[in-house]
């Protein structure tokens, strides 16, 4: 069974870098069966897809966030990481890592079948 667990800081200062890690169990990040994404939900708003890393390590990003976002993976640790910089209070949200089966539309949160529990990140001085 595929499981995902997010980890990272709950509070980040404005202008700093937010780094979140997603640890995967039950499958390998390097297999070609899933797309691996970061998705967030600001308070009172809809889920927002941020970016994806595919089974071969290729990354794609949401255009509005592309200049501030980087996703990388560590196949030995079976993890993928989100870096977002510089952050502003508008980046306050619950952040999720999620997996969608290959062939689905990775930009749509509704296509994701496996989710982490989510981690609250607050950007504040």
The confidence band for 120, taking pLDDT boundaries of 50, 70 and 90, is very high
Give the closest residue to 30 by CA, choosing from 96, 70, 71, 78. 78
Q: Which residues pair with 15 in a beta bridge?
A: none
Residue 84: count of CB within 10 angstroms of its CB? 25
Residue 41: what pLDDT? Answer: 98
Give the tens place of pLDDT for each residue, 75-104.
999 999 999 999 999 999 999 999 999 999
- 3 vs 105: CA distance, rounded Å: 20
Encoded tokens for 83: 């870096």
Residue 17: count of CB within 10 angstroms of its CB? 13
Give the tens place of pLDDT for each residue, 24-71.
999 999 988 999 999 999 999 999 999 999 989 999 999 999 999 999
């Amino acid at each position: 069974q595929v499981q995902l667990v997010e980890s990272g800081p709950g509070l980040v200062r404005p202008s700093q870098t937010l780094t979140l890690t997603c640890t995967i169990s039950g499958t390998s990040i390097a297999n070609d069966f899933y797309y691996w994404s970061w998705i967030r939900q600001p308070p009172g708003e809809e889920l927002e897809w941020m970016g994806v890393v595919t089974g071969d390590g290729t990354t794609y990003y949401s255009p509005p966030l592309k200049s501030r976002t980087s996703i990388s993976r560590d196949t030995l640790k079976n993890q993928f990481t989100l870096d977002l910089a510089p952050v502003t209070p508008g980046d306050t949200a619950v952040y999720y890592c999620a997996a969608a089966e290959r062939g689905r539309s990775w930009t749509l949160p509704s296509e994701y079948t496996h989710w982490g529990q989510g981690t609250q990140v607050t950007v504040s001085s």
